[in-house]
Homo-oligomer: A and B are copies of this chain.
Amino acid sequence: MHVIQQTFSVPYSYEVFFTTHLFDSGNPLLKNYLESQAANNLSKRLLVIADEGLIKHHPNLPAQIRHYCASVSGFELAGDILVIPGGEAVKNDMPLFYSLVDAIDQYSIDRHSFVIGIGGGAVLDLVGFAAAVSHRGVRHIRIPSTVLSQNDSGVGVKNGINYKGKKNFLGSFAPPAAVFNDAHLLTTLDPKDWRAGIAEAVKVALIKDAPFFEWLEANATALAHGDLPLMQELVYRCAALHMAHIGGAGDPFESGSSRPLDFGHWSAHKLEQLSNFDLRHGEAVSIGMAVDSVYASLLGWLDQASALRIVKLLQQLQLPVYHPLMENKDGVPSPVIKGLEEFREHLGGRLTICLLKGIGVAAEVHVMDLTLLDKAVETVRSLS
């Protein structure tokens, strides 16, 4: 018997830029980046796909983008800017997915060209997946337009669409070529979206960075009321923590079962789904973190004062900490808590839940005590 061993590593590298008014003619950032990527003196194409929700608030943006791109040497816009709906629903829209694949084909987007996605996390996930599987992967640039996508999903390496109601069932790991976070785009967000995005910052502070948590406490009221310079600092710090985790933990494409960034998420995914996405992702994560923090304190891992500080911070940020879907009613287990079993299956048979041993200190459990969990839900309800 013969055997040949194959071993290699694939290096990835990309930059996340923080700027404001990205498409102003006086801002050379994107132009400089693209011109540094121009190949062989050939004119290459930019296929721009933008989120309708964003364009409604920035109606001049398409004209600005056209004008800006005309000034970039070595690149030209491929057709007109494609404006597509935003929000989670686009990830269920298979014909829309194929229309993006068709555009990549029709405009001859090749490995020297770029697909540019501008919008919230759902649009970026959809666009990223279309780019990742066309020609076995064309380059894509992300321009996230929400707090959540600027500080979390948009700076990471995943994409995906839903399939038959299953969230992100189809997708891949495909790092972007570059990410441009434009703070100006955040100014027109719905206040609920603005605040929901802060939940991921609380999460990453709780599992990685106690001083950042204290900073969030100190600035919670101003953040909740729309302070842009503070939000820019929050986005930068949160993105940096996420990126350090992805690049530094040795498993960027998640081949193992551990999901240390998923604190508060096991229930959040279920809550989003059961509320028919009436709860935003960040709102659901806020509820999930409140319950899991109290659970950790009931377990004796986290001191009670810290658990209460966490719930208080979420409330100061005007984020929800409780939802009736969490409740165990008349002996019937909460549908969210029943989702634990589904989550165990999703992880491949062994439950792994990230909890807290302290603020800034994460640890994993492989069993959840359902009686304690009910008690945690009850406690959070009384605090809410």
Residues of A whose CB lies within 8 Å of any CB of B are 1-19, 29, 39-40, 42, 44, 101-102, 105, 108, 110-113, 132-137, 155, 158, 160, 163-164, 166, 168-173, 175, 236, 239-240, 243, 246-248, 252-255, 257, 345-350
State whether A6 and B13 are in contact (beta carbons under 8 Å apart), knowing that A105-B166, A108-B345, A110-B345 are contacts in the complex. yes
**Is B18 a contact of A12 with CB atoms below 8 Å?**
no
- Chain B residues near A9 (CB, 8 Å)? 9-12
Shortest Cβ distance from A98 into B: residue? B163
**Is A171 a contact of B252 with CB atoms below 8 Å?**
no
Given A135-B169, A136-B158, 20 more A-B residue pairs with CB atoms under 8 Å apart are A2-B18, A3-B17, A3-B18, A4-B243, A6-B12, A8-B248, A8-B252, A9-B11, A10-B252, A39-B350, A42-B349, A101-B163, A110-B346, A111-B348, A112-B349, A132-B172, A133-B172, A136-B168, A137-B172, A137-B173
Stoichiometry (number of copies) = 2
Shortest Cβ distance from A11 into B: residue? B9
Shortest Cβ distance from A254 into B: residue? B136
Which of B4, B44, B137 sits near A240, CB closer than 8 Å?
B4
A3 to B208, CA, bound (A): 21
Minimum Cβ distance to chain B for residue A153 (Å): 13
The 6 closest A-B pairs by CB, nearest first: A42-B349, A112-B348, A2-B18, A110-B348, A9-B9, A8-B247
A85 to B72, CA, bound (A): 49
**Is A19 a contact of B1 with CB atoms below 8 Å?**
yes
10 A–B pairs (Cβ distance < 8 Å), ordered by A: A4-B236, A6-B14, A6-B16, A6-B247, A7-B13, A10-B12, A40-B350, A105-B164, A112-B348, A137-B172
State whether A136 and B173 are in contact (beta carbons under 8 Å apart), knowing that A4-B239, A16-B3, A252-B8 are contacts in the complex. yes
A7 to B164, CA, bound (A): 35
A345 to B40, CA, bound (A): 13
**Is A163 a contact of B105 with CB atoms below 8 Å?**
yes
- Chain B residues near A14 (CB, 8 Å)? 5-6
**Is B11 a contact of A42 with CB atoms below 8 Å?**
no
**Is A247 a contact of B348 with CB atoms below 8 Å?**
no
- Chain B residues near A44 (CB, 8 Å)? 348-349
**Is B8 a contact of A4 with CB atoms below 8 Å?**
no
**Is B16 a contact of A236 with CB atoms below 8 Å?**
no
Shortest Cβ distance from A173 into B: residue? B136
**Is A134 a contact of B252 with CB atoms below 8 Å?**
no
Shortest Cβ distance from A136 into B: residue? B171
**Is B15 a contact of A1 with CB atoms below 8 Å?**
no
A199 to B4, CA, bound (A): 21
- Chain B residues near A5 (CB, 8 Å)? 13-15
- Chain B residues near A101 (CB, 8 Å)? 163, 169-170
A33 to B236, CA, bound (A): 45
A235 to B248, CA, bound (A): 40
Minimum Cβ distance to chain B for residue A129 (Å): 8
Minimum Cβ distance to chain B for residue A196 (Å): 23
Which of B15, B133, B175, B346 sits near A3, CB closer than 8 Å?
B15
A158 to B17, CA, bound (A): 32
Minimum Cβ distance to chain B for residue A93 (Å): 15
Minimum Cβ distance to chain B for residue A256 (Å): 8
